Structure 1
């Protein structure tokens, strides 16, 4: 019984940790997507300009 309680407590703690991390990261998702798109476009332009 003690081992089961310990496993359940660990799972609960992991779920709370994941939830808190998601709440912290979720507002940044649009900025990450926009930044990735800008970097890809600039990289493509740079590649096309410097290619022989």
Structure 2
């Protein structure tokens, strides 16, 4: 069990980070960007709705 966990730690720290960081970073970046775009569009829609509502009333 100790050897397995050591190998697991070595796998996490050494080669996989370089190999996975590109794809994971890309996926995270895309998800983050899309989330921010959705968030900003929702905030914009809410702000526009509030301004529109205040202008009418």
TM-score normalised per structure 1:
0.55
How many Å separate the matches in 1 of 2:42 and 2:33? Answer: 14
How many Å separate the matches in 1 of 2:38 and 2:22? Answer: 24
Partner of 1:5: none
Which stretches of structure 1, 4 residues or more, deviate above 4 A after TM superposition?
none
Structure 1 position 17 matched with structure 2 position 8: yes
TM-score normalised per structure 2:
0.51
How many Å separate the matches in 2 of 1:30 and 1:16? Answer: 22
- Which sections of structure 2, spanning at least 5 residues, go unmatched? 47-57
Question: How many corresponding residue pairs?
Answer: 40
Structure 1 position 33 matched with structure 2 position 29: no
- Which sections of structure 1, spanning at least 5 residues, go unmatched? 1-9
Say which of 30, 34, 40 aligns to 1:42. 34
